[in-house]
Amino acid sequence: MSILTATGVEVTYPGSGRPVRAVAGVDLAVEPGEVLGLVGESGCGKSSLARALVGLVAPTAGTVVFDSQPVEALRRRARPVAQRRLQMVFQDPYSSLNARRRVGDQIADALRLAGGGGRRRAPAAVGALLERVGLDPAMQTRYPHEFSGGQRQRVAVARALAADPSVIVADEPISALDASAQAQVANLLVGLARTEGVAVVFISHDLAIVRQVADRTAVMYLGTVVEVGPTATLWEDPQHPYTRALIDAVPTPDGSGRLPADLPGDVPDPAAPPSGCRFHPRCPLVTPDCSSWEPVLRVQEPGHAAACILAPDRGAPDRSTTGVPS
């Protein structure tokens, strides 16, 4: 059974003019112990979706269910007990950690909140958490500025681990780090999934990293998931032109001098999305029907779905393809 499920999730922010629908109806299921990559350009709604998944924003429509319980939007009080094992790691460990408190104290707070015993046992438990993320337990008396960027992000992961999470939603956890530190933090999160069964939602604009770490990948464009499937399949044989364009834009460090392919245009204003397929104004394969028909996710093969007029339903050959205009 899925540990975290989003059904028809929409997130709308009131704008100065029209309200902005940052997430426009997303269905997503996260299985225990898997790494689910979530990719897309800035403005595609991946961070808003992440926040809705952990209850940091209330969806304007749809539901999020964690461990068979609906996720309630957080208020000013602590996270409800039922959601403690749903944790988030943010992009910038400089701002997600308190600069004026020792990291050990911050992790101890998280342990206390999670009901992990009193003050006295804290140092040993904190040390154990630091060891789990590959840091020296003696570092708990240090302040965040005494750590490198990658180490600080590992402290943030240790703090999330204090709640014994079954899901960690990590929003761009490595994009503020050097290449070598990126690998360390990415390997750490994947290790948690592989060895401890923690499901990780790994949000990143770096496709090369997601290709490496994610079991499955969901591609978002302008508030909707346009393709989802096993990472290897998605990468080898993408069915949505947007997925193809993202992959082709990734430069490869092979010394070949090949320039990455360009995808002209910007993500449109989510307050005024294009009609029909939201990608059609930028799509290299656009057809005359694309501006009037809004594609839905259709099964390509088991576990792989794409929302494109050129990707007909291949999941159920006995059923007539639904939703295609005649």
Partner 1 sequence: MTAPLLEVSGLRVRLPSRTGAMLPAVDGVDLTVHAGEVLGVAGESGSGKTMTALATLGLLPHGARTDGSIRLAGRELLTLSDKQLRSVRGREVAMVAQDPRTALHPMLSIERQLTEHLRHHHGVGRKAARDEAADLLDQVRIPDPRAALARYPHEFSGGMRQRIAIASALAARPSLLIADEPTTALDVTVQAGILRLLDRLRRERGLAVLIITHDLGVLSSIADRLVVMYAGRVVESGTTADVLASARHPYTHGLLDALPEGGSAAMRPIPGSPPALGAVPSGCPFHPRCASARDTCAADVPALLQIAPGRLSACPVDPYAPVREVVS
Q: How far is the CB of 63 from partner 1 (least distance, A)?
A: 30
Establish if 249 lies at the interface with partner 1 (CB under 8 A): yes
**Residue 195 in the binding site for partner 1 (CB under 8 A):** no
Min dist. Cβ of residue 139 to partner 1 (A): 13
Sole binder of partner 1 in the list 187, 286, 314, 315 (CB under 8 A): 187
The contacts of residue 304 (CB under 8 Å, 6+ apart) are 227, 228, 229, 230, 233, 234, 239
Per DSSP, 270 falls in state T
Query: Shortest Cβ distance from residue 265 to partner 1 (Å)?
Result: 8
- Structure tokens belonging to residue 299: 């099964």
Q: Which residue has the tokens 């070598």?
A: 180
- Which position among 195, 252, 320, 326 is part of the footprint of partner 1 (CB under 8 A)? 252
Alpha carbon dihedral 7, 11, 12, 13, in 10-degree steps, equals 170
Structure letter (DSSP) for residue 258: P
262 vs 318, beta carbon nearer partner 1: 262
Nearer to partner 1, 72 or 269 (CB): 269
> According to the binding rule CB under 8 A, does residue 254 interact with partner 1?
yes
Among 255, 288, 317, 325, binds partner 1 (CB under 8 A): 255
User: Helix H segments across 121-175?
Assistant: 122-132, 149-161
Q: Which is nearer to partner 1, 157 or 162 (CB)?
A: 157
Half-sphere exposure of 273 (CA within 13 A, CB side): 22
Does residue 91 bind partner 1 (CB under 8 A)? no
Q: Is residue 138 a contact point for partner 1 (CB under 8 A)?
A: no
Q: Report which of 202, 204, 215, 211 is spatially closest to residue 252, judged by C-alpha positions.
A: 211
Distance CA 228, CA 219 (A): 6
Residues of this chain, 259-278, that bind partner 1 according to CB under 8 A: 259-264, 266
Select 254 or 318, whichever has its Cβ closest to partner 1: 254
Report the alpha-carbon distance of residue 297 to residue 131 in Å, rounded: 42
| Range list of β-strands (E), the chain | 4-13, 20-30, 35-39, 61-66, 69-70, 86-89, 167-171, 199-203, 216-221, 224-230, 298-301, 304-306
Does position 131 interact with partner 1 (CB under 8 A)? The reply is no
From the list 77, 119, 258, 319, which residue makes contact with partner 1 (rule: CB under 8 A)?
Answer: 258
Binding piece for partner 1, criterion CB under 8 A, among 6-14, 53-61, 72-80, 184-192: 184-192
Distance, CA of 190 to CA of 162 (rounded, Å): 17
Contact flag: residue 42 with partner 1 (CB under 8 A)? yes
Binding-residue pattern over the window 151 to 180 for partner 1, x denoting contact by CB under 8 A: x--------------------------xxx
Rule CB under 8 A: choose which of 102, 112, 142, 205 binds partner 1: 205
Q: Are strands 304-306 and 298-301 parallel, antiparallel or unpaired?
A: antiparallel
Query: Which residues make up the interface to partner 1 (CB under 8 A)?
Result: 41-43, 148-151, 178-184, 186-187, 205-209, 211-213, 235, 245-246, 249-264, 266
